[in-house]
Structure 1
Amino acid sequence: MKQAICRFIYHKLLGWKAEVNVPDFKKCIICAAPHTTNWDLFIGKLFITAIGRESGFLMKKEWFFFPLGIIFRKMGGIPVHRDKRTSMVDQLVQRIEKSDTFHLAITPEGTRSANPDWKKGFYYIALGAKIPIVLIGIDYEKKCITAGKYLLPTGDIEKDMKEIKLYFKDFKGKHPEKFTIGNID
């Protein structure tokens, strides 16, 4: 029922398309970009549910105030305490190892503003847990979300990050001026 409702809203009411060319892994990190508006969360959650999959997401703890905190947690939100010196990567790797299934969406830019220095936590989580990274591009111009590629992190972060960034180079966020893959030479 939830999938049918999300499919109706995503496809019929909003007019978005979905292209999915990756397996439905039992465990994976979803690298989703570009992230240029708060609407990305809602469009992304509609997409993932409409295609019959589930995913949690990371969000800065400041958004988890009452009553939004209850809603975000129910949607799969995990608050990130950026001011604490705790290893979110290690905590998530342990959580993944204990779970039968695990899907977590992370925006590599770490902000809704243009940031050429992408965060690498998503990469280290996948590397530590030995799970694939699924690349999902959000394109507002085409009104399409594409899950078109995945990779297993090799440990060669420079090579892998270049491949990841190149995948996202042609996707247009809601505010394209707020997205950059930076210098990949």
Structure 2
Amino acid sequence: MPRYTIFSTPVITPLISAVSATALKLLGWQIKGINAADTPRCIIIGAPHTTNWDLPFSLMIAFQLKVPLFWMGKDSIFKFPFGGLMRWMGGIPVDRSRSHNTVTTTAQLFETDASLRILMAPEGTRSAVKGWKSGFYHIAVQGNVPILLGYIDYKRKVGGIAQAFYPTGDYEADLQQIKSIYNQLT
């Protein structure tokens, strides 16, 4: 998926990195967890996804971890006049109204890109949901990549990557284990 993004634009990228570091420090945030830069091909999930602030904080945290990434979002936020900006910020629009073979298409991207990281919200929405969507998991399995467990805790002002999880192909068992890890973070 080679293209200029917020993470690869000459002159602008170091400036945004410095602004991100300063903003997080002034706001009292700590970045914790594993060094995601050691995992060049992965799915990063962020849970829970509860607010529009998740995206800017996720991007600032990614800058601090030195982890360029792409992120998937609903296609409606990619419409004029902000579509170009969202794509430059690493956004990949997803039309959730019908099936577009997104899992297979996304998994195939890992075959051609040796340093592809894609951030996804497993709930698929900011609204309260009973269960997670399984697309992130199936992309990781088909793409043969790990799932990094990202988090943002607004109360404690802590964010980062808790750990890498390597899917076994048993969705139900793996999902239970992933959710158990997230439960320990709170």
TM-score bracket relative to the smaller structure? 0.7 to 0.9
Aligned to 1:56: 70
The partner residue of 1:27 within 41, 63, 72 is 41
**Equivalent in the alignment of 1:95:** 109
Match of 1:67 in 2: 81
Q: For residue 79 of structure 1, what is the amino acid of its counterpart?
A: P
The residue type paired with residue 28 of structure 2 is G
Aligned partner of 1:136 in structure 2 is: 150
Shift of 1:68: 1.3
| 1:16-68 per-position Cα deviation (integer Å, ceiling 9, x unaligned) | 11002244211000011111001100111111012211111111101111221
Distance 1:69 1:127 in 2: 30
Name structure 1 gaps, 5 residues minimum. 173-185
Contact 1:32 1:108 in 2 (8 A): yes
What is the CA distance between 1:8 and its match in structure 2? 1.2
**1:106 matched to 2:120:** yes
How many residue pairs match? The answer is 171
Q: What SS is found at the alignment partner of 2:17? A: helix
TM-score, L = length of structure 2: 0.87
- Structure 1 letter corresponding to 2:124: G
Partner Cα separation in structure 1 for residue 70 and residue 20 of structure 2: 16
**Which whole-Å CA distance do the structure 1 matches of 2:134 and 2:140 have between them?**
10
Runs (4+) of structure 1 exceeding 4 A deviation are none
Of residues 145, 160, 166, the one that matches 2:180 is 166
Q: Give the conservation status (yes or no) of the 8 Å contact 2:35–2:65.
A: no
Taking the aligned partners of 2:85 and 2:107, their CA distance within structure 1 comes to: 25
Q: 1:15 aligns with which of 17, 21, 28?
A: 28
Q: CA contact under 8 A between 1:10 and 1:50: conserved in structure 2?
A: no
- Secondary structure of the residue that 1:169 maps to in structure 2? helix
Output the CA distance in 2 between the equivalents of 1:159 and 1:94.
25
* SS in structure 1 at match of 2:96: coil
Identity of aligned residues (%): 36
TM-score by length of 1: 0.87
Listed one character per residue, the Cα deviations across residues 149-175 of structure 1 (whole Å, up to 9, x for unaligned) are 111110011111001111222556xxx
Distance 2:35 2:130 in 1: 26
The RMSD of aligned alpha carbons is: 1.4
